Amino acid sequence: MTQSSTTVPVRPAPRPGPADARPVIPAGDGVRRGLGLGEVRLTGGFWGDLQDTNARATLSHCLDWMARLGWLANFDRVAAGTTGPERPGWEFSDSEVYKLLEAMAWELARTDDPALADRYTALVDRVAAAQDDDGYLNTCFGHPGRPDRYTDLSGGHELYCVGHLLQAAVARLRTAGEDLLVRVARRAADHVCREFGPDGRQAICGHPEIEVGLAEFGRALGEPRYTEQARLFVERRGHGTLPPRPLLGPGYFQDDQPVRETEAWHGHAVRALYLAAGAADVAVDTGDEDLLDAVRRQWRHTVERRTYLTGGMGSRHQDEGFGDDWELPADRAYCETCAGIGSTMVSWRLYLATGDVRYADLMERTFFNVLATSPRGDGRAFFYANPLQQRVAGQDVLPDAENPRAEGGVRAPWFDVSCCPTNVARTLASWHAYAASVDGDRFTVLQYAAGEWDVRLDGGGRLAVRVSTRYPDDGAVRVEVLAAPERAVTVRLRVPEWAGNGVGDGAAATLTGVDGVTRTVAPGWAQCTAEFRPGDTVVLRLPTAPRLTWPDPRIDAVRGCVAVERGPLVLCLESPDLPSGIALDQVRLDPAVPPRAEGDGALVRVRTVGARVESFPYTPVPARPATGEEIDVRLTPYHRWAERGPSTMRVFLPVT
Amino acid sequence: MTQSSTTVPVRPAPRPGPADARPVIPAGDGVRRGLGLGEVRLTGGFWGDLQDTNARATLSHCLDWMARLGWLANFDRVAAGTTGPERPGWEFSDSEVYKLLEAMAWELARTDDPALADRYTALVDRVAAAQDDDGYLNTCFGHPGRPDRYTDLSGGHELYCVGHLLQAAVARLRTAGEDLLVRVARRAADHVCREFGPDGRQAICGHPEIEVGLAEFGRALGEPRYTEQARLFVERRGHGTLPPRPLLGPGYFQDDQPVRETEAWHGHAVRALYLAAGAADVAVDTGDEDLLDAVRRQWRHTVERRTYLTGGMGSRHQDEGFGDDWELPADRAYCETCAGIGSTMVSWRLYLATGDVRYADLMERTFFNVLATSPRGDGRAFFYANPLQQRVAGQDVLPDAENPRAEGGVRAPWFDVSCCPTNVARTLASWHAYAASVDGDRFTVLQYAAGEWDVRLDGGGRLAVRVSTRYPDDGAVRVEVLAAPERAVTVRLRVPEWAGNGVGDGAAATLTGVDGVTRTVAPGWAQCTAEFRPGDTVVLRLPTAPRLTWPDPRIDAVRGCVAVERGPLVLCLESPDLPSGIALDQVRLDPAVPPRAEGDGALVRVRTVGARVESFPYTPVPARPATGEEIDVRLTPYHRWAERGPSTMRVFLPVT
């Protein structure tokens, strides 16, 4: 296809600076801003290592799989005019290519690897060649032998794919400036605005994503038409206009009630969360307090009643969706990796809009226990679903076999519906953008990781710090000032909710200021304002003794159970850590014996119960108490479960 | 379509007698036989009333809905050659017509209603007119504008539909003798044997049913080719030959492992159970002990670890399927009505084959708590799913609105996938066929209902009895002999497992013989052998005080909870029975206070807990014990829940 010459002219985007490389920049850049990737460099540690594995293994792993399955060649067939009834991949496979491009763009900003740059350029060329003259870009619809454009808005994912294209273009625009991908995205966005604008089709896409894509692309280009189109899509949703899909009501794609009237997230979790992220963007950029309040209310309701201990969201496999309030089964927890990522997308936007520490708290929980759980240590296999209990050990997955959804307790190299690997890749590649913020002369560390920050303060001048920490293995976070302006500025550190009173051994969180004075700090913020000099140090110490965590009794699925956490990590008991001859369902934790730290996990005291043999599992006699021997068993971080081969696993353990 | 003249000639079926009207007659008629509908007449009571409602309301309700939705006209379009791309109903809608015909046939044997006979005849005429010359009969495939025959064996349900046609023909053949429906069925069966026989397509249907249909039709006609074809279908399954369906593995339709190697039922529950029923038929008729043992083993494993207190089976909505062992969530229990019916189909066959009382025990549990739960009191709305907990009250269903699946806690007049109403109809119409059996000179009452039995004993002569009982409201069952041969014969009565030691107030089951002596009887069988005279009476008294029932602790979903049963009935707490201001999730049952009988339910002592308000539902502090006021609340029979409008409901209640 030749490229269109009918693109609406817009002013050239400015060349990006170090502070510009950010996924989310609200109009006017808000009261507080996240840091650009050019202002941060992680130096190993938990998140630095994950980023390195992502760069070294995951990006090429995803590219290779998509090449092998023909998802890339779909673009070539459109360009060559050789499309037909047969086409590999789901309707949304284009979006995986765009998410990979986004990941590559962020990663290039981090490492500027020339081999990666070549792969990026080659991939963009293939995508660009498939764009129609009028900006339409999709390999599943609209070409010979394929269904016509927009004939399946409920299931076709055409606008969803464009949304991901726009997010990829945002990453490129803010890290390297305008290039072919950005131009392709601009034509695609213009096409969407023409086709679905105020005078166009009064329709929406079954899977939200175009909203958040348009909103951010509009921000990145200073193009109010895109923001307005995002707003139109948000407002159009909830009026039951999407054609129904078999056995799924309109709530599945949030078309049952307008966003601003919705009380809790419901239906397909990823759809609900991407929509909320887009709605938050529209609300902020248009000053729509009512809409922002709606998203905040939905976040609050959902976190209070529909969220797992891991931060995972979505408790139904049937529709990959939220359940009712308190419907949080451990074994059938869906907790799709992409829903976890969607949750952090929403929380980040709400944090930037409000500054409320709770949003950053949830992001930490989700980062450590959902995002970090998905990829295998080598970055070449992933969880799609993240249950909190595995009753039956999964089966080993062949390294070259596609897996339906990686729900079976074993990470799989690739899935039939393979949305998670590229989503993990783009999120890890840009993770450090979510780790701190600045407002005025205040620099706030939100997520703890070893690294160096060199921040342009809004009040002028630079603040450079080195953060040293072994977090989450150790709760000490040392912030050393490397450079600071000659005036009083503030370094603020997040004290997680879990670090409040009652943690494990009773130790409290403390902050040691530049004056060397140590004081106890409560959950929320701890800060130090000073005219810093190079070498000045602030130390936050978070209590990371293992601690018991009890569920609300309305969560029926884990009644009579307790979990153990350590710092930001949810721990779990996995079958390889049990003495032989003891099954996971025979174990009862003794809550009277405090858990003790052991390696990166904990030791807990348990008793065993004998296995019952009944011909019908409902009897007139209550179950006997646990009278078996007392033993200590080791709990390990949930995010690393199933790394030692297929296993059974529980986060919540019944108590004695 | 003209009717074929190429039917393979078979010997004419004999005219049926009163003892012939039975759904299941194994080859050689086995050691024990169920009673023909001509040998039994229910006189009101629980099951008699349900049968009357079924006859008075449900049959015409189903017919009207299928007429209105165009499922009947599908046959007319085939006959007229006017089929096209548009066709109302799912692929399997023909089977609903056949299940209704089966229900009509059984009902005609019960009441001989001339208006019903006219409706039956008219419906058969429409079906017959749609049969192709070669015996193929399907309105979804194989005609102009429709997909070709057998092009979607995984999802097309063509053989499934024929299976139901054959079951309908069996009902007719054994109650009225050969008629047009039987001839249509014979041509359809012959077509299937030609097409899928040893030299035909080596294939199976994605939804088992043809097996059980062919096996019984072969029995009814004395046609071993049909039995052999059923055997071929059973043996072919489990070798992964069915083309996969999106996101569903081969276990979904039991094509992952051969039936004789399967340990537990798994995958789609109705499919698994229909297959097991067919396999049991084949095993019995071919003397295949290994296959029969496999089905018995699957029954045992599934009942021990994958069955709800109600007898319901299937714990996953995603694939309408069984879960792993002990995966039995109350709120997301699927317990499809049709799976309950499939379970009784299997249990009945295994009872006839083995005489084991446990099969009849499970049938009672499932009859009262699944089958009887589905239809609304007026017989014009039905549950599809039968969960044991309803967290959020459903929404009233409009009387003329189709409902996706009636999962929302409200019975619906009709569903998009509407397999349950006609399944309930055919099962209720023939329910009395499962209530007793005879072997030699022994008459066994399996299910308790008021009625009259006039039984041809295998040893010659008749035994006629009147059963008087208000069961399940009262546990007394009085069996009065009306006529008996002049020799010693045995009347045997089932003592349910639930009537064993430990019931409620400690009362034991007793049997009072013709000699007036009362003795305690243990679960299993209680019997009386005598040379009975008219007026002789045997009385079984089952203890129906309400009793606590505790779940196996491996069922995580109901840990710390207890249920209350009364006789064969599972009870539940429903929101209309709570004092205002108290929510269902605030109630804790005090197990130290024995439940007391109250109406058809029970009174239990509960305490309330205050509602917690937390910003995150996982905290360092355990939930406080229930300290609210002590009150007595009423539990009602589960089978009548949601009859008073939308409600919340629990079977298992947390204890104080």
What are the tens digits of pLDDT across the range A415-458? 888 899 999 999 999 999 999 999 999 999 999 999 999 999 98
Q: How far is A301 from chain B (nearest CA, A)?
A: 9
* Claim to verify: residue A563 and residue A524 sit in the same structural domain: no
Judge whether B272 lies within some domain: yes
Write the ipTM. 0.92
Residue A294 C-alpha, separation from nearest chain B C-alpha, in angstroms: 17
Contact A284, A353 (CB under 8 A): yes
Stretch (H or E) spanning B597 = strand B596-598
Q: Could you give the number of structural domains in chain B?
A: 3
Mean pLDDT over each residue of chain A, to the nearest integer = 94
Contact B585 A404 (CB under 8 A): no
A-chain residues within 8 Å CB-CB of B547?
Answer: 620
Who contacts B484 (Cβ-Cβ below 8 Å, separation ≥6)?
B461, B462, B463, B464, B531, B532, B533, B534, B536
Q: Is residue A244 part of a domain?
A: yes
B391 contacts in A (CB within 8 Å)?
324-327
Q: Nearest CA of chain A to the CA of B212: how many Å?
A: 27
Count Cβ–Cβ pairs < 8 Å, chain A vs chain B.
178
**In angstroms, what separates the C-alpha of B27 from chain A's closest C-alpha?**
30
Among B516, B541, B566, which residue terminates a domain?
Answer: B541
Predicted local confidence at residue A402, as pLDDT: 67
Nearest CA in chain A to B299: A615
pLDDT of B28 reads: 76
User: In this predicted structure, which of A63-77, A320-334, B237-251 has the lowest mean pLDDT?
Assistant: B237-251
Give the C-alpha separation, B509 to A652, whole Å: 42
- Residue B617: which of A246, A324, A551 has the nearest Cβ? A551
Q: DSSP 3-state assignment of B189?
A: helix
Is the per-residue pLDDT at A14 higher than 90? no
Q: Are residues B460 and B419 part of one domain? A: no
Spacing of C-alpha A158 from chain mean position? 22
Residue at B44 is within a domain: no
**Both structure tokens of B105:** 């046939």
- The CATH number that applies at residue B343 is 1.50.10.20
Cβ contact (<8 Å) for B303 and A616? yes
Extended beta strands in A349-446, E state: 389-390, 402-403, 414-415, 436-439, 442-445
Tokens representing A198? 């105020």
Report the DSSP beta bridge partners of residue A353: none
Other C-beta atoms within 10 Å of A649: how many?
Answer: 23
Which residues on B lie below 8 Å from A561 (Cβ)? 556, 559
Q: Nearest residue of A to residue B311 by CA position?
A: A616
* Cβ–Cβ below 8 Å for B618 and A550: yes
Flag whether A242 is in a domain. yes
CA angle centred on A20, ends A439 and A489, rounded to 5°: 25
What tokens does A592 get? Answer: 């009277």
Q: B329 to chain A: which residues are within 8 Å by CB? A: 329, 332, 557
Residues of B in contact with A612 (CB under 8 A): 552-554
pLDDT on residue A466: 98
CA atoms of B634 and B578, how far apart (whole Å) = 8
* Chain B positions in Cβ-Cβ contact with residue A656 (cut-off 8 Å): none
Mean pLDDT, residues A552-576 = 97
pLDDT of A502 reads 59
What chain B residue is nearest to A504 in terms of C-alpha separation? B620
Residues A175 and A250 in one domain: yes
**Domain-embedded: residue A461:** yes
Looking at the structure, do residues B500 and B559 belong to the same domain, yes or no? no
Instruction: State whether B617 and A392 contact (CB < 8 Å).
Output: no
Task: Determine whether the interchain pair A497/B616 forms a contact, defined as Cβ–Cβ distance below 8 Å.
Answer: yes
Inter-chain residue contact A617 with B305, CB threshold 8 Å? yes
Asked if B620's CB is within 8 angstroms of A547's CB, the reply is yes
Chain B residues near residue A391 by CB distance under 8 angstroms: 324-327
| Yes or no, beta carbons of B560 and A559 under 8 Å apart | yes
Residues of B within 8 A of A304 (CB-CB) are 614-617
Q: Do A560 and B559 count as a contact with CB atoms less than 8 A apart?
A: yes
Per cent of chain A over pLDDT 70 is 95
- Partners of B251 on chain A (C-beta within 8 Å) are none
Is A585 within the bounds of a domain? yes
Binary contact (B416, A304; C-beta < 8 A): no
Verify whether the Cβ–Cβ distance A325 to B392 is below 8 Å: yes
Specify if A18 maps to a domain: no
- In chain A, whose CA is at the least distance from the CA of B408? A324
pLDDT over 50 (residue A298): yes
Q: What is the pLDDT of residue A248?
A: 86
Chain B residue with CA closest to A394: the answer is B324
Tell me which chain B residue has its CA closest to the CA of residue A300: B615
A235 and A350 both lie in a single domain? yes
pLDDT tens by residue, A494-527: 999 999 865 666 789 999 999 999 999 999 999 9
- Claim to verify: residue B516 and residue B374 sit in the same structural domain: no
pLDDT band, residue A4 (cuts 50/70/90):
very low
Please answer yes or no on whether B555 and A389 come within 8 Å at the CB atom: no
Query: At residue A9, does pLDDT exceed 80?
Result: no
Distance from CA of A404 to the nearest CA of B (A): 6
Range of the domain at A65: 47-434
Residue stretches of chain B with pLDDT short of 70:
1-14, 398-407, 501-505, 612-613
Q: How far apart are CA B167 and CA B169, in angstroms?
A: 5
8 Å CB contact between A124 and A98: no
| pLDDT, tens digit (0-9, with 9 covering 90-100), for A353-380 | 999 999 999 999 999 999 999 999 999 9
Give the CATH number, domain containing residue B527: 2.60.40
Instruction: Give the pLDDT of residue A582.
Output: 93
Chain A: residue nearest B504 by CA? A620
Interface test with A, best of B616, B648, B651, B655 (most A CBs within 10 A): B616
B447 and B427 co-located in one domain? no
C-beta separation of B170 from B426 below 8 A: no
Chain A positions in Cβ-Cβ contact with residue B332 (cut-off 8 Å): 316, 323, 327, 329, 332
The reply to whether A509 and A404 lie within a common domain is no
Contact A615 B358 (CB under 8 A): yes
Last residue of a domain, one of B541, B559, B575: B541
Maximum distance among all Cα pairs of chain B, rounded to whole angstroms: 79
Mean local confidence (pLDDT), A330-341: 97
B478: amino acid identity, one letter: R
Asked if residue A354 and residue A374 are part of one domain, the reply reads yes
pLDDT bucket at A320, cuts 50 / 70 / 90: very high
Quick one: pLDDT at residue B568? 97
Domain-ending residue, one of A434, A455, A473? A434
Whether residues B557 and B453 fall in one domain: no
Mean pLDDT of the region A462-483: 97
Candidate from B324, B552, B559 with C-beta closest to A654: B559
Interface test with B, best of A616, A621, A652, A655 (most B CBs within 10 A): A616
Q: Which residues of A touch B557 (CB under 8 A)?
A: 329, 556-557
B607: distance to nearest CA of chain A, Å?
14
Task: Tell whether B561 and B495 lie within a shared domain.
Answer: no
Using CA atoms, how far apart are residues A113 and A428, in angstroms rounded to an integer? 16
- The two structure tokens encoding residue B226: 């049909």
Q: Do B553 and A623 touch (CB under 8 A)?
A: yes
In a domain, A312, yes or no: yes
Helix (H, G, I), strand (E, B) or coil at B268: strand
What does the pLDDT read at residue B397? 72
Provide the token pair at A354.
Answer: 């409000």
Q: Has residue A3 got a pLDDT over 60? A: no
pTM above 0.90, yes or no: yes
What does the pLDDT look like over A491-502, one tens digit per residue? 999 999 999 865
Compute the nearest-CA separation of B559 from chain A (Å).
6
Question: CB-CB: which of A318, A497, A622 is closest to B318?
Answer: A318
- A563 and A632 in a single domain? The answer is yes
The alpha carbon of residue B323 is apart from the nearest alpha carbon of chain A, in Å, by 10
| Substitution target from B303, B548, B556 for chain A, most A beta carbons within 10 A | B556
Task: Please judge whether B553 and A609 are an interchain contact, meaning their C-beta atoms are less than 8 angstroms apart.
Answer: yes
Chain B partners within 8 Å of A417 (Cβ): 247
Yes or no: say if A145 and A76 are a contact pair by the CB < 8 Å rule.
Answer: no
3-state DSSP call for residue A78? helix
Choose the mutation target among A92, A361, A498, A556 for the interface with B, i.e. most B CBs under 10 Å: A556
Question: Which long-range CB contacts under 8 A does A282-287 form with residues at least 24 apart?
Answer: A282/A211, A282/A215, A282/A227, A282/A230, A282/A231, A282/A234, A283/A353, A284/A26, A284/A27, A284/A30, A284/A349, A284/A352, A284/A353, A285/A26, A285/A27, A285/A215, A285/A218, A285/A219, A285/A227, A286/A227, A286/A231
Kindly determine whether residue B332 and residue A323, on different chains, have CB atoms separated by under 8 Å.
Answer: yes
Better-scored residue on pLDDT, A308 or A11: A308
Cis peptide before A472, with omega less than 30 degrees from 0?
Answer: yes
Mean pLDDT, rounded, for A626-630: 86
- Residue A223 C-alpha, separation from nearest chain B C-alpha, in angstroms: 38
What is the nearest CA distance from A417 to chain B, expressed in angstroms? 9
